Amino acid sequence: MSKAKTNAAIAALDMVEDGMVLGLGSGSTAEIFIELLGEKIAHGFKVQGVPTSQGTADCAKKFGVPLLDPDKVERIHLTIDGADEVDENFQMIKGGGACLLREKIIADSSEHMVVIVDGTKMVKTLGAFALPVEVDPFAMALTAERIYTALMQAGCKTASTTLRQIKNGKGPLVTDGGHYILDCACTSIPDPRLTASLLVSIPGVVEHGLFIDLADTIIIGEEEIAKVMEIVRE
Ligand code: 5RP
């Protein structure tokens, strides 16, 4: 278990109050948080979680975190999630774990989003991490062509798209929602906001991994401490 990720998760736990409904993110850092949350719940702390993936739901059950059906939730106080890249404006790339659609639905419905990362995820410009784009399998080659054009229009210099495959298996990875992921290697995304708006207007794109204006707190875990950074959004 990475010490930096664990320190970020510990700092996030401090922001959770008794009685809260939490969006539970996906990925290894979110799972560390869920394990720590489970320990606190075992000592009488009362919170409920809304999972952002089947993997997270399984993890929450394992560590005794009570879950709520997203359709029965009135309010989500806080979502805690990881990220693949975070820039200095708190814009992010997510979806390395293929859960970006449900992560975005829950983050967007939350009052606050706290992102827990280690320092390797902090970047000046997004895009070294290939941007995951969740697509409908129907006519995917046409959608991929439109994605390429959109990325070029948004100022990316290159944009090769690769259909994500199952690890150690044959065939494309299928997301919890039944879609495919195209990983778009752009090297650099100079205008994340424009890129996001162009991608979302392509009919075959179900969702993309650019998380714009969603995070208001970033916790960067280091070997010994965690640094908390906040942004005030209008
Ligand atoms: C999953 C995600 C994860 O938050 C992201 O991939 C970070 O994962 P990790 O905490 O394992 O580094 O977006 O879709």
User: Does the 3-122+213-229 domain belong in CATH 3.40.50.1360?
Assistant: yes
Amino acid at 39: E
Please give the pLDDT value at position 17.
98
Residue 143 has pLDDT above 90, yes or no: yes
Distance (Å, whole) CA 117 – CA 209: 16
Please give the pLDDT value at position 168.
81
167 pLDDT tier (thresholds 50, 70, 90): confident
| Atom in ligand 1 nearest the alpha carbon of residue 117 | 10
Tokens standing for residue 28: 């290894």
Please give the pLDDT value at position 217.
98
**Spacing, Cα 33 to ligand 1 middle (Å):** 13
Please give the pLDDT value at position 22.
98
Q: How far apart are the first and last CA of the chain?
A: 37
State yes or no: is 103 an active-site residue: yes
DSSP per residue over the chain, as a string? --HHHHHHHHHHHTT--TT-EEEE--SHHHHHHHHHHHHHHHTT---EEEESSHHHHHHHHHTT--B--GGG-S-B-EEEE--SEE-TTS-EE--TTS-HHHHHHHHHTBS-EEEEEEGGGB-SSS-SSPEEEEE-STTHHHHHHHHHHHHHHTT-S--EEEE-B-TTSSSB---TTS-EEEEEE-S--S-HHHHHHHHHTSTTEEEESEE-S--SEEEEE-SS-EEEEE----
Residue 28 has pLDDT above 80, yes or no: yes
Angle of helix 192-200 versus helix 140-153 axis, rounded to 10: 150
42 pLDDT tier (thresholds 50, 70, 90): very high
The CATH class, in words, for 131-205 is alpha beta
Please give the pLDDT value at position 234.
73
Give ligand 1 pocket residues (Cβ under 6 A).
Answer: 25-29, 81-84, 94-100, 103
232 pLDDT tier (thresholds 50, 70, 90): confident
Distance (Å, whole) CA 21 – CA 150: 37
- Which are the contacts of 141, defined by CB distance < 8 A and separation ≥ 6? none
Amino acid at 162: T
Residue 233 has pLDDT above 90, yes or no: no
**Spacing, Cα 102 to ligand 1 middle (Å):** 13
| Atom in ligand 1 nearest the alpha carbon of residue 29 | 10
**What is the percent of the chain with per-residue pLDDT over 90, rounded to a whole number?**
97
Residue 169 has pLDDT above 80, yes or no: no
Distance (Å, whole) CA 144 – CA 141: 5
| Atom in ligand 1 nearest the alpha carbon of residue 96 | 6
| Best mutation site among 1, 2, 28 for ligand 1 pocket (most ligand atoms within 8 Å of CB) | 28
**Spacing, Cα 28 to ligand 1 middle (Å):** 7
Tokens standing for residue 39: 């320990």
Could you read off the pLDDT of 60-109 as tens digits, one per residue? 999 999 999 999 999 999 999 999 999 999 999 999 999 999 999 999 99
Residue 195 has pLDDT above 90, yes or no: yes
What are the φ/ψ torsions at residue 22 (nearest 5 degrees)? Answer: -115, 135
Averaged confidence pLDDT in the chain: 97
Domain segments of the chain as ranges: 3-122+213-229, 131-205
**Spacing, Cα 151 to ligand 1 middle (Å):** 23
3-122+213-229 and 131-205: same fold? no
Residue 31 has pLDDT above 80, yes or no: yes
Active-site residue, selected from the candidate residues 35, 103, 134, 207: 103
**What is the percent of the chain with per-residue pLDDT over 70, rounded to a whole number?**
100
Please give the pLDDT value at position 86.
98
